[in-house]
Structure 1
Amino acid sequence: MSKPSSGIAATILSAFAVLVAVLALLVATGTLDVGRSVPRDFEAQARQYLLDNPEVVVEALQRLEERRQQAEANELQTLIVERHDEIFNDSTAPVAGNPDGDVVLVEFFDYNCPYCRKATSDIRQAIEDDPNLKLVFKEWPILGPGSEFAARAALASLKQGKYDAFHHALMGFPGRIGENSTLTIAGDVGLDVEQLKRDMQDPAIAAAIERNRALADDLRITGTPTFVVGDEIIRGLVDLATLKRFIADARQNPEG
């Protein structure tokens, strides 16, 4: 009989080690009671027990994952408190709605993200329906050079007082946003395109985008759109009712 290859043998040993570790976890957490002392043939008994009762492995792993997720959520909530001003009160970030609103909704987005475009109408509706809601835009271009150019142009449009119109026109564009389409849209909304090009070179604009990138990384944000409201991070597209529920929760629990 031939011996198993080193790769297969390693896999078997790793799997067994994991199984024994899981059983040890079961013992430690009280899921499995083996008495006061661990028997000499613990590994053999562990293996047999796991083979006879695979459902306890699933239960233990589920509990472990729940604890991991809760620990991560607690860590992020603490981070949101520590970085509160950077997230909610960045004076360089564009805003919409009530600038003195009692609840702040922060959106990380990319102009080439189709889900961000879908979210735009619900966000506008939430602002219209809630006179005490402040929206903070976090330009976070992650989908290529076109997104980067559009983000810089959008921030530069602040100097001409047309960010809101420009932002929504970019979000309403049916195709992929690039340099040419960005500048065409800029002209369509009444921006001085030549001034916009000059303003885009301001180092403060590149710095703002880099801060957003670093913040998104620290908050473990991996995709767009992502929203932050209260002490919650909402990952991905949600409907208007869900968005309003998070806003209401933040208003009811202002301290998180």
Structure 2
Amino acid sequence: MTRFAGILAAAILLMGCQQGDASAQLSETQREEVRDIVRDYILENPEIIEEALIELQRRARAREMQAAYDAVEAQSEAIYNDPRDPRLGPDGADIVIVEFMDYKCSYCRVANDWVEDVREEHGDRIQFIIKEYPILGEDSLEASRAAIAALQQGTDIYEAFHNAMVSSSGPLPSERINQLARVSGVDVERMREAMESPAIMEHISQVRSLGQVLGVTGTPFFIVDGTIVSGANELALDQALQRALAE
């Protein structure tokens, strides 16, 4: 892209133009000559098309990322201060990590190993906020409703149930959800009754809306002390965490 711009500028200069008003001074014949120079250069160096496309993609990604960070700043209250969200770790922790997750997402299963390792190593310094973000069908939605209902029975019970479901491979039909809830210490009957509350669906709907505003198109999606990490990218997660710990 830089080489092409240089060739174009040189071609215009060859036509005797002054910077700033080149197009006004070019005759139709001169414009044809410039086009011929540029065309010949592209034909001789077709790789510049690929370079231009790569640069356009880089700029588009940069704009998307900036938009995402702007959205995180604008939505900070909903991201960090919704009292309905499950929280794992101490209040007032040095570092807050937010995770948008889906119980049927295999990448969330991978990322949960990282979450558990971080909690074991830095548990006193870090709090995780879990954003129940079911986007993979009705099983996902039912699992999230069950998890939020189980939270009413205590954070420890929620955590055990959450880990059991996110670690479980395969489908999550009602029977499987009940089984995982039972072994996690959840009162299943009480959970099922609480799941019918419209407030739970309202909560999930608002998290979904928040995710759409932030551009969360897949799970997991992390915000590590303000740094966005999309996917189960353990290297990027570790780097963001180490920067946060150092600060």
Q: 1:66 to 1:242 in 2, by over 3 A?
A: closer
How far residue 98 of structure 1 moved from its aligned partner, in angstroms, is 2.1
CA distance in 2, matches of 1:105, 1:67: 28
Counterpart of 1:10 in structure 2 is: none
Amino acid at match of 2:47: E
Q: Does 1:133 align with 2:109?
A: no
Q: Name which of 222, 228, 247 aligns with 2:241.
A: 247
Gaps of 5+ in 1: 1-21
Counterpart of 2:31 in structure 1 is: 40
Q: Name which of 184, 192, 202 aligns with 1:197.
A: 192
CA distance in 2, matches of 1:226, 1:60: 30
1:26–1:60: 8 Å Cα contact kept in structure 2? no
1:68-111 per-position Cα deviation (integer Å, ceiling 9, x unaligned): 22222222212111111211222110011222212111111111
TM-score by length of 2: 0.83
1:193-219 per-position Cα deviation (integer Å, ceiling 9, x unaligned): 221111111122111111221122122
Q: Does 1:212 align with 2:207?
A: yes
Q: Name which of 112, 115, 130 aligns with 2:104.
A: 112
TM-score by length of 1: 0.80
What CA RMSD, in Å, does the superposition of the two structures yield over aligned residues? 2.3
Q: Which runs of 4+ in 1 moved over 6 A?
A: none
CA distance in 2, matches of 1:104, 1:26: 46
Counterpart of 1:230 in structure 2 is: 225
Amino acid at match of 2:188: V
CA distance in 2, matches of 1:26, 1:76: 32
CA distance in 2, matches of 1:153, 1:237: 24
CA distance in 2, matches of 1:184, 1:247: 35
Gaps of 5+ in 2: none
